Amino acid sequence: MAKSHRCGWVVLMGPPNAGKSTLTNALIGQKVSIVTSKPQTTRNRIIGICSEDNAQVIFMDTPGLHHDKNQMRGPLGKQMIQATWQSLSTANAIMMVLDSDLYIRKPEFLERDIASFKMAFAQEERPVFIIVNKVDLFADKAKMLPLLEKLHEDLPKATLYPLSAAQKDGIAELKKMLIDAMPEGEPQFPKDQLSTAPTRFLCAEIIREKVFDHLRQEVPYTTAVDIEHWEEIPEKNQTIINAVIYVARSSHKAMVIGRAGTTIKEIGTLARKDIQELIGGKVHLELWVKVKENWLEEINLYTEEML
């Protein structure tokens, strides 16, 4: 291996719904982390690996940390907080991702949302990048100036970087900057590996993404997905997958199923399409909905050992 090879870890952290998972996927060039329009989608640390000839950058997408501690209660909340701060401790460089459009519309929310990060980064020796995301949402870029000034005041050593993760605008340049910030070192993963998450976990996540997309308000937050049966039939190039969507209440079960089963059917159709793309073969997907009032207390339903 040539001496100039760089390798290191980068954490993506920040408030919920800022676009951390969208940015992770854009940097990797493939979907490794689910994305929804609802906050607190990501529940675990998700690793995405970006390999180039002379560098490997390992990205850690983390759960968004809600400013209101009540929103992060219980074992699940605890796990989300832990996943985020632990990832920070192992990173060589830090990206804090922010929704620029939100703080341009509501500047008063900025301090509230970044207070804990500001504290954590105050004495930081490692490179910190503040990703000012979603710049596609407003045409007049001058609108960003007060936000950029405030961020510069708060974190003078950090590099401010406006971009649009959704439109992949500014991604290549960001990647270059991150590679330059990595220490020299050998690759830590095979160069064709994109994530450390097991395929079964990714499939459960895809189903959870569709549940988030199709259900309103609190229902997605009380659901978890478990793959119960996985059977590969090589001669048919087919995989049979049985998955259970756990809900906390029977009223939620009815909502997940929908009138005459329409909602669950749609969730299944969309999930199957994405899973087929992921595993590159035909998929027969069966979904079941089960009520498990205390699943939120059963940490093993949503904890995956990913490294």
Give the residue ranges of the annotated binding site for GTP: 14-21, 61-65, 133-136
Show the site string, 166-205: x = touches ligand GTP by CB under 6 A, - = not. Answer: x---------------------------------------
Q: Which stretch binds ligand GTP (CB under 6 A): 1-9, 13-21, 67-75, 233-241?
A: 13-21
Q: Which stretch binds ligand GTP (CB under 6 A): 50-58, 106-114, 117-125, 162-170?
A: 162-170
Build a one-symbol-per-residue string for 73-92: x at contacts with ligand GTP by CB under 6 A, - elsewhere: --------------------
Give 286's contacts (C-beta < 8 A, 6+ positions apart): 240, 241, 242, 243, 268
Handedness of CA 157, 162, 165, 168 (dihedral sign): negative
* Identity of the residue, 20 or 210, whose beta carbon is nearer to Mg ion in the bound complex: 20
Contact (Cβ atoms closer than 8 angstroms) between residue 75 and residue 297:
yes
Pairwise CA distance, residues 26 & 119, whole Å: 28
Is residue 217 within the footprint of ligand GTP (CB under 6 A)? no
Nearest residue (CB) to ligand GTP, 62 versus 239: 62
Tell me whether residue 16 or residue 127 sits nearer to Mg ion (CB atom): 16
CA distances, 257 to each of 104, 225, 236 (Å): 39, 14, 30
Cβ neighbours of residue 238 closer than 8 Å, sequence gap 6 or more? 232, 281, 282, 283, 284
Instruction: Report how far residue 73's alpha carbon sits from residue 280's, in angstroms, rounded to the nearest whole number.
Output: 38
Decide if 19 contacts 61 (C-beta within 8 A).
no
CB 165 within 8 A of CB 19: yes
164 binding ligand GTP? (CB under 6 A): yes
Q: Which stretch binds Mg ion (CB under 5 A): 35-43, 82-90, 197-205, 263-271?
A: 35-43
State the nearest-atom distance from the C-beta of 37 to Mg ion, in Å: 11
Q: State the binding site.
A: 14-21, 61-65, 133-136
Residue with smaller CB distance to ligand GTP, 87 or 239: 87
- List the x/- string, 109-148, binding to ligand GTP by CB under 6 A: ------------------------xx-xx-----------
Q: Which two tokens stand for residue 221?
A: 């937050």
Structure-block tokens of residue 88: 């920070």
The beta strand positions in the chain, using DSSP E, are 6-13, 46-52, 55-61, 93-99, 128-133, 159-162, 223-233, 238-247, 282-291
At residue 111, what are phi and psi to the nearest 5 degrees? -60, -45
Binding segment toward ligand GTP, per CB under 6 A, in 36-44, 230-238, 247-255, 281-289? 36-44
Q: What is the largest CA-CA distance in the chain?
A: 62
Query: Is residue 62 part of the contact set for Mg ion (CB under 5 A)?
Result: no
Identity of the residue, 39 or 258, whose beta carbon is nearer to ligand GTP in the bound complex = 39
Site residues (CB under 5 A) for Mg ion, limited to 15-34: 20-21
By CB under 6 A, what part of segment 15-34 binds ligand GTP? 16-22
16 binds, among Mg ion, ligand GTP, none (CB under 5 to 8 A by kind): ligand GTP
Separation between Cα atoms, residue 233 and residue 240, nearest integer Å:
8
* Binding interface with Mg ion (CB under 5 A): 20-21, 41-42
* Binding interface with ligand GTP (CB under 6 A): 16-22, 35-37, 39-42, 63-64, 133-134, 136-137, 164-166
